[in-house]
């Protein structure tokens, strides 16, 4: 997993909790203790799972809620760090539908070692998108949070119905956009 995901995660922990909590979860998990994290390095995705488990221990918050919150935070950060992907984008569902065929394709060019999931999308209607997440990594909650973050960014009111099909490795998201009246 790319170091940038870890640096963003630790920044979220420092901002939302504290520097002490950030240190504590590195101590408890044994991850990043010696050297911290750098954006250019790569780490095992299991290290992220260990950090989240440690954050759960320290804060008492549920693991799925913590990962989803991180997904929301990460999307907001992407709007700043990868602003090139947002020029001309106006609709959350169009944006989400383009993750597989455009955004993650470009991400792979920028970071050839990126390990990305697949999304099979079906646009049932202008305001209804089905996204089928599949990955070797267990980050259905992260996808959930990224989808929420996307709705928030475009100020779209999204209703997200989620069905886990193979634990957090394969998740179906049925997303409806509520039209503002």
β-bridge pairing 157-164 and 128-134: unpaired
- Of the pair 20, 36, the CB lying nearest ligand HEM is at 36
Q: Which is nearer to ligand HEM, 32 or 117 (CB)?
A: 117
Taking the C-alpha atoms of residue 175 and residue 159, their distance in angstroms, rounded to an integer, is 6
Task: Output the smallest distance, CB 79 to ligand HEM, in A.
Answer: 7
Positions touching ligand HEM (CB under 6 A) are: 1-2, 5, 75, 78, 82, 85, 96, 99, 103-104, 107, 111, 114-117, 135, 137, 139, 142-143, 146-147, 150
28 versus 114: smaller Cβ distance to ligand HEM: 114
Round to whole Å and give the CA distance between 62 and 103.
30
**Closest by Cα among 68, 84, 69, 75 to 151:** 75
For ligand HEM, give the closer residue by CB, 109 or 179: 109
Could you tell me the smallest distance in angstroms from the CB atom of residue 123 to ligand HEM?
14
By beta-carbon proximity to ligand HEM, the closer residue of 26 and 70 is: 70
Phi and psi (nearest 5°) for 83? -60, -20
Name which of 122, 159, 123, 165 is nearest 140 in CA terms. 165
Q: How far is the CB of 42 from ligand HEM (least distance, A)?
A: 7
Rounded alpha-carbon distances, angstroms, from residue 87 to 45, 83, 91, 145, 171: 30, 7, 12, 22, 29
Residue 129: which residues within 8 A CB-CB, separation 6 or more? 93, 96, 97, 121, 122, 123, 175
CB of 92 to ligand HEM, least distance (A): 9
CB of 33 to ligand HEM, least distance (A): 21
């Amino acid at each position: 997993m790319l170091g940038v995901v870890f640096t963003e995660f630790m920044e979220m922990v420092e901002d939302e909790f504290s520097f002490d909590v950030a240190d504590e979860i590195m101590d408890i998990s044994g991850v990043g203790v010696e050297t911290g994290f750098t954006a250019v390095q790569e780490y095992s995705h299991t290290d992220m799972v260990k950090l989240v488990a440690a954050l759960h221990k320290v804060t008492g918050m549920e693991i799925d809620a913590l990962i989803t919150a991180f997904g929301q935070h990460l999307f907001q950060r992407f709007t700043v760090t990868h602003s090139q992907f947002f020029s001309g984008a106006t609709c959350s569902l169009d944006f989400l539908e383009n993750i597989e065929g455009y955004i993650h394709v470009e991400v792979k060019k920028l970071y050839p070692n990126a390990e990305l999931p697949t999304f099979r999308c079906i646009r049932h209607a202008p305001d209804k998108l089905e996204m089928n997440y599949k990955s070797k990594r267990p980050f259905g909650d992260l996808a959930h949070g990224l989808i929420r973050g996307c709705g928030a960014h475009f100020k779209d009111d999204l209703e997200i119905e989620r069905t886990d099909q193979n634990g957090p490795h394969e998740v179906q998201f049925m997303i409806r956009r509520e039209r503002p009246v």
